[in-house]
Structures are given as structure tokens and as C-alpha cells.
Amino acid sequence: MSKTIEIIVSPDGQSRVETKGFSGSDCREASRFLEEALGNRVSEQLTPEFYRQQANNETHQQEGA
């Protein structure tokens, strides 16, 4: 899957940044510059991909301990 960042602007001027194809916290790193340019974050909704990668990282860390 290719990595994309979508910016959705509603008629009332609110904007939303959506990342697709990223795993874990890579999405935050990729979209940080857009969030900073657009202003203060009002809310954040993390996708299942974020949590799946976080769980995989924790499993690998426990196996290495």
C-alpha cells in the first residue's frame, strides 16, 4: 500500500489530516509539518494500524528481554 496524506477542509474552514499506509507512529512524523502549518490540534483519532504496530513493537521488546 502506498503512503498518502490527505487534507480535508470542511465548508466551515475546519481541516482534518488523514494518513494512510503508515504504521505505528510513522504517521505522526509524516504529518507533523502539516499539523504545525494548520494550527492547533483540536482532537486526534488514531487508526487500528497505529495500535497494531504499537502492539507488535511491545511484543518484540518483551521477546528480547
Is the pTM higher than 0.75? The answer reads no
Q: How far apart are the first and last CA of the chain?
A: 32
Higher pLDDT, 59 or 42: 42
Q: What is the mean pLDDT of the chain?
A: 82
The pLDDT confidence band at residue 62, using thresholds 50, 70 and 90, is: low
Instruction: List the beta bridge partners of residue 18.
Output: 6
Q: What is the pLDDT of residues 15-28, one digit of tens each?
A: 999 998 888 888 88
